[in-house]
């Protein structure tokens, strides 16, 4: 006969209650210590306390001489006895008394003279002695446990700081599936094989093959690496261990290695399952020899992880998944076959992927029928999945702020402007500065519209936004592009320098508003020379310094490549030549369209914002070309 289970049946859980796979450990409470101290205090009062009314020793001697005392008990520190008649008032009325013993050699003579019965007392000291060392010890243990829990050294007690701190989700607690993931079709196809193995491992092991032990998800931040790992667990219906790489490393040497061992023991017990380590670069950074010394705890933890993955039985149906946006800093031993065998790229989505991601995020948002997600996707080039989720949320908040019943296209446009250009400012500029900004943005827009092969202008604004942006010109890419020719880059440089050139032509003066344009143009021109070999004088040679991060730009000082000083001078001269040619191209383009520059600038000063369609209508109109003023004759 089967024994009745003391646990509630699986199907009788309360709604929203999560079933934990981690065994519950008894929790330590400070109230246990306080209760024990109270019990000891009561015991001391009962066993060590003495009854009776307390009187001075002089009064005790007077009562003896007056024959009022019948018997006494002489102790080491006290003298207790009884009187012939009770004394006192109320509850204090009693025939018992107690007084503090004083060194009195004639005490026995006085007691015998007045026929008082007397006896001695031997007091047991075991209880005070025990309390003297038990109470401090209990307080020390309580404080030790309290501070260990505060420092995060343990999750369940003083001696459990070596246990893994992974969050364990049951097979039916992971509600994410591949239907909730979009824009990463290639990565999704790669991971479907993992799901099939977890569902039916014999299909692969019967032929002698084995599934990869580890799968490393690499890609820019916000592309959905963690979401993909949860979707794999949700599709396979297996337990899911989730933790960060930084949770292994502690201030105590050896704790991280102990947690790695405990993690793999738990994973083997729950197989088939998935162990997901997010931000793997915090744990698996390459081991290097440094004169400043190495990080002992991190290296021990990494060595333990390498040993566990190397000795891990692939037939246990446990998949180790990691995620990082800095794969270039990982230790090479971690990426070799037998550990993280497969690397899956989770890149930013293209226009079709962005549209699919937007469709997922607008499921819970009331959207107007006029909203065109394809147009929104085309305007959000370079957005990751997290950026698109934030975009939908910002649009919903803007619509709610205006008391709308649905989110319309205008809310999405404003949300895109806010995410790309920054928050709109309400500061007032003087008329001279407004006119300079208007000419500057008009120069960008006209050059971008006049040169072939560039993305069309979507919006021009002279409203202040973000950190120091006095205006902006936004483009609407028609398609995602992954390659740029030298001509494309030269035209892009002309657009960047178009604002400064417009100030020169229209105002005869330049301002500080082109700082960001000059920086971007200089970086692009230098990359053309040193990285892409687009200079005939320098040649098809790469003079770039240290390789940059593939997905994450780290704020370090620029590294110079290995080349001689005369090569550096040649590179500088070529960069200057390219920028000069781009400046000349922008000047020629704007000089030929001088009348359009005035019209666009006047419209911007009137409305502050101009749509791309209106700009194209102005550029298609027949405007008189102004006659350039003759230069003044030189004076003698």
Question: Residue 89 catalytic?
Answer: no
Do residues 61 and 108 lie in contact, with contact meaning Cβ atoms separated by under 8 Å?
no
* One domain for residues 442 and 500: yes
Give 244's pLDDT tier (boundaries 50, 70, 90).
confident
For residue 412, pLDDT over 90 is answered with yes
In a domain, residue 370? The reply is yes
- Calculate mean pLDDT across residues 418-432: 80
Whole-angstrom distance, CA of residue 556 vs CA of residue 536: 30
- Tell me what the pLDDT averaged over the chain comes to: 79
Q: Which of 280-284, 346-350, 544-548, 554-558 is predicted with the least confidence, judged by mean pLDDT?
A: 554-558
The residue among 71, 96, 123 that closes a domain is 123
Per the DSSP assignment, residues forming a β-bridge with 405 are none
What would the mean pLDDT of 512-539 be, rounded to a whole number? 92
pLDDT score of 112 more than 70: yes
Residue 210 belongs to a domain with what CATH number? 3.40.50.300
- Residues 404/460, Cβ–Cβ less than 8 Å: no
50 occurs within a structural domain: no
Q: How large is the average pLDDT for residues 237-247?
A: 83
What gap in Å lies between CA 71 and CA 53, rounded to an integer? 15
pLDDT at residue 366, as a whole number: 92
Per-residue confidence (pLDDT) for residue 3, from 0 to 100: 43
* pLDDT band (50, 70, 90) for residue 551: low
Q: Domain check: are 497 and 536 in the same one?
A: yes
Q: What is the CATH number of the domain that holds 109?
A: 3.30.720.210
354 — pLDDT class (breaks 50, 70, 90) = very high
Give dist(CA 260, CA 307) in Å, integer.
10
Asked if residue 102 has pLDDT above 60, the reply is yes
Encode burial over 413-441: b for 16+ CB neighbours within 10 A, e otherwise: bbbbbbbbbeeeeeeeeeeeebbbbbbbb
Nearest to 406 by CA among 350, 451, 366: 366
Res. 2 pLDDT band, cuts 50 70 90: very low
CATH of the domain at 538: 1.20.58.760
DSSP state of 583: H
State whether 441 and 577 are in the same domain: yes
In a domain, 332, yes or no: yes
Residue 15 in domain: no
CB 404 within 8 A of CB 411: yes
Lookup: tokens for 238: 């297996």
Domain membership of residue 186 (yes or no) is yes
For residues 507 and 487, membership in a common domain is answered with: yes
- What digits encode the pLDDT tens for the residues 38-76? 776 666 555 555 556 788 888 888 888 888 888 888 887
Length of the chain as a residue count: 636
Instruction: State whether 407 and 324 are in the same domain.
Output: no
Q: Give the mean pLDDT of 351-376.
A: 91
Structural domain includes residue 28? no
pLDDT value, residue 525: 95
Residues 522, 603, single domain; the answer is yes
| pLDDT tens column, 585-628 | 999 999 999 999 999 999 999 988 899 889 999 988 765 544 44
pLDDT digits (tens, 9 = 90+) for 384-407: 999 999 999 999 999 999 999 999
Same domain (yes/no): 416, 436: no
Domain boundary among 310, 328, 344: 344
Q: Is residue 402 part of a domain?
A: yes
Domain count, the chain: 4
Same domain for 512 and 440, yes or no, is yes
Contact assessment for residue 560 and residue 544, using Cβ atoms and an 8 Å cutoff: no
Least confident of 10-14, 209-213, 441-445, 534-538: 10-14
Range of the domain at 571: 431-551+561-620
Report if residue 379 sits inside a domain: yes
Q: Would you say residue 465 has pLDDT above 60?
A: yes
With 50 as the cut, is the pLDDT of residue 250 above it?
yes
Question: Residue 552 — very low, low, confident or very high, per pLDDT cuts 50/70/90?
Answer: low
Round to whole Å and give the CA distance between 535 and 267: 56
The average pLDDT across 450-473 equals: 85
Catalytic site residue from 308, 441, 503, 574 = 441
| Per-residue model confidence (pLDDT) at position 169 | 63
Name which residue leads in pLDDT, 449 or 162. Answer: 449
Q: What percent of the chain stands above pLDDT 70?
A: 76
pTM of the model: 0.68
**Which of the listed residues 96, 123, 150 is the one where a domain comes to its end?**
123
Same domain, 329 and 358: no
Q: What 3-state DSSP class applies to 591?
A: helix
Task: Please indicate, yes or no, whether residues 491 and 607 belong to a single structural domain of this protein.
Answer: yes
If asked whether residues 112 and 216 sit together in one domain, one would say no
Nearest to 69 by CA among 48, 83, 59, 86: 83
Q: Tell me, what CATH number does 360's domain have?
A: 1.10.8.60
Mean pLDDT of 21-26: 48
C-alpha–C-alpha distance, residues 590 and 499, integer Å: 10
Together in a domain, 193 and 312: yes
């Amino acid at each position: 006969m089967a024994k009745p289970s003391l646990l509630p049946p699986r199907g009788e859980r309360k709604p929203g209650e999560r079933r934990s796979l981690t065994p519950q450990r008894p929790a330590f409470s400070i109230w246990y210590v306080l209760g024990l101290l109270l019990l000891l205090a009561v015991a001391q009062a009962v066993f060590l306390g003495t009854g009776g009314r307390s009187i001075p020793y002089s009064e005790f001697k007077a009562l003896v001489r007056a024959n009022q005392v019948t018997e006494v008990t002489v102790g080491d520190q006290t003298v207790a006895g009884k009187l012939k008649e009770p004394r006192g008032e109320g509850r204090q009325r009693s025939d018992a008394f107690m007084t503090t013993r004083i060194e009195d050699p004639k005490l026995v003579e006085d007691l015998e003279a007045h026929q008082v019965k007397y006896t001695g007392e031997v007091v047991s000291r075991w209880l005070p002695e025990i309390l003297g060392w038990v109470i401090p010890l209990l307080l020390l243990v309580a404080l030790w446990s309290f501070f260990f829990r505060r420092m995060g050294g343990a999750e369940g007690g003083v001696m459990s700081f070596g246990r893994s701190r992974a969050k364990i989700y049951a097979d039916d607690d992971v509600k994410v599936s591949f239907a909730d993931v979009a824009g990463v079709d290639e990565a999704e196809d790669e991971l479907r094989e993992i799901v099939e193995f977890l569902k039916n491992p014999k299909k692969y092991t019967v032929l002698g093959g084995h599934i990869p032990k580890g799968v490393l998800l690499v890609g820019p931040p916000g592309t959905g690496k963690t979401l993909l790992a949860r979707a794999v667990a949700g599709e396979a219906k297996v337990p899911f261990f989730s933790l960060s790489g930084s949770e292994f490393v502690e201030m105590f040497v050896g704790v991280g290695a102990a947690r790695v061992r405990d993690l793999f023991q738990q994973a083997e017990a729950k197989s088939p399952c998935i162990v997901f380590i997010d931000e793997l670069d915090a744990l698996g950074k390459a081991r290097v020899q440094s004169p400043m010394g190495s990080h002992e705890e991190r290296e021990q933890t990494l060595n333990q992880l390498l040993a566990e993955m190397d000795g891990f039985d692939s037939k246990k149906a446990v998949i180790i998944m990691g995620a990082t946006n800095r794969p270039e800093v990982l230790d090479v031993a971690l990426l070799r076959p037998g550990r993280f065998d497969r690397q899956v790229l989770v890149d930013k989505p293209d226009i079709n992927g962005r549209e699919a991601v937007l469709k997922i995020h607008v499921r819970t948002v009331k959207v107007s029928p006029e909203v065109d997600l394809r147009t929104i996707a085309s305007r959000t080039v370079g957005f990751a999945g997290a950026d698109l989720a934030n975009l939908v949320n910002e649009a919903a908040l803007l619509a709610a702020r205006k008391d709308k019943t649905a989110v319309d296209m205008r809310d999405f446009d404003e949300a895109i402007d806010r995410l790309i250009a920054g928050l709109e400012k309400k500061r007032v500029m003087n008329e001279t500065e407004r006119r300079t900004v208007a000419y500057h943005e008009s120069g960008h827009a006209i050059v971008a519209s006049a040169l072939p092969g560039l993305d069309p202008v979507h919006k021009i604004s002279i409203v202040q936004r973000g950190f120091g942006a006095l205006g902006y010109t936004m483009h609407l890419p028609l398609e995602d592009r992954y390659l740029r020719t030298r001509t494309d880059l030269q035209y892009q440089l002309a657009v960047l320098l178009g604002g400064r050139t417009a100030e020169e032509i229209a105002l005869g003066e330049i301002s500080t508003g082109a700082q960001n344009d000059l920086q971007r143009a200089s970086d692009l021109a230098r990359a053309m020379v040193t990285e892409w070999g687009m200079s005939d004088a320098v040649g098809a040679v790469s003079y770039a310094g240290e390789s940059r991060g593939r997905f994450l730009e780290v704020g370090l000082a620029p590294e110079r490549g290995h080349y001689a000083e005369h090569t550096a001078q040649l590179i500088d001269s070529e960069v200057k030549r390219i920028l000069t040619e781009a400046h000349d191209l922008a000047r020629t383009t704007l000089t030929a369209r001088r009348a359009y520059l005035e019209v666009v600038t006047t419209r911007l000063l009137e409305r502050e914002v101009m749509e791309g369609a209106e700009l194209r209508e102005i550029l298609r109109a027949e405007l008189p070309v102004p006659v350039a003023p003759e230069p003044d004759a030189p004076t003698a």
